[in-house]
Amino acid sequence: IAASPSRPDGILLTGDLADAGDPVAYGMLAERIDALTSATGAPVICIPGNHDDRAAFGRQLLGTTDDGAAPIDQISWFGGLRVISLDSVAPGRDGGRLTDGQLQWLRGELSVPAPDGTIVAVHHPPITSPIRSMAEIALDRPEDLAGVIDGTDVCLVIAGHNHHASAGMLGRVPVWVGPALSYRSDPLVEDRYVGLIGSAFSRIDLVDRRPLVTFVP
């Protein structure tokens, strides 16, 4: 990204960010984020995943002093585009969930439309995966999230977690599950999880308030 002629408005990391939640890993990542921000001028939004330690994540990447008990939900603005990041981590579990409090908070925020619409970002996908083990640890009760965003200005939901790219729908809203930078999973093997060498990320453009997502290997 830094070497390309493109200059993104923002960079979003949907987790996981540290394989074992090690504070040293977050320190290494913070250095890379600072370098990328300096090179591109783009702010970086970090979302925890199920491998992350929420307290260490907050201290090292966000400068917070919380004990990690509360979800880390964030709102970021890029001009008139609003990005709402939801922390779907359920401590002690690989699967994800959004609490009633988070959904109520989201409903309140979406009651006021953004000039250029809203993107909702979450670690655990609200759609399934062809890999059975990943399908079992997706977002719990995605229909709850669908009910909150239905009829709002949300134009796209993005997620991580699976290490393979997927596109689907959550109600009437498109969903994009991004690929991973560390390694990729094999979506043609359904009965077990197979990791493969390779990495990719996603470029997301908003064209006339409509999302255009491009896979970048």
Share of the chain above pLDDT 70, in %: 100
Which two three-digit tokens encode residue 32? 């890379």
Give the pLDDT mean for 75-91: 96
Contact (Cβ atoms closer than 8 angstroms) between residue 153 and residue 118: yes
pLDDT tens, position by position, 138-175: 999 999 999 999 999 999 999 999 999 999 999 999 99
**Closest of 182, 178, 155 to residue 166, by C-alpha:** 178
Neighbours of 1 (CB within 10 A): 14
The C-alpha angle with vertex 11 and arms to 169 and 172, in degrees rounded to 5, equals: 15
The per-residue pLDDT for 67 is 85
User: And the tokens for 154?
Assistant: 């949300």
Confidence of residue 11 (pLDDT cuts 50, 70, 90): very high
**pTM for this one?**
0.96
Helix (H, G, I), strand (E, B) or coil at 7: coil
Give the pLDDT band of residue 16 (cuts 50, 70, 90). Answer: very high
Helix (H, G, I), strand (E, B) or coil at 144: helix
Tell me if residue 46 falls in helix, strand or coil. Answer: strand
Q: Look at residue 68 in the predicted model and tell me its pLDDT.
A: 84
Lowest mean pLDDT among 65-74, 76-85, 98-107, 147-156: 65-74
User: What pLDDT was estimated at residue 107?
Assistant: 98
Whole-angstrom Cα distance, residue 101 to residue 105? 6
Tokens describing residue 28: 């290494």
Secondary structure (3-state) at 50: coil
Taking residues 212-217, what's their average pLDDT? 97
Over residues 35-61, mean pLDDT = 94
3-state secondary structure 114-158: CCCCEEEEECCCCCCCCCHHHHCCCECCHHHHHHHHCCCCEEEEE
Whole-number Å distance between alpha carbons of 7 and 211: 18
Average pLDDT, the chain: 96
Q: Which two tokens stand for residue 24?
A: 């040293």
pLDDT at 164: 98
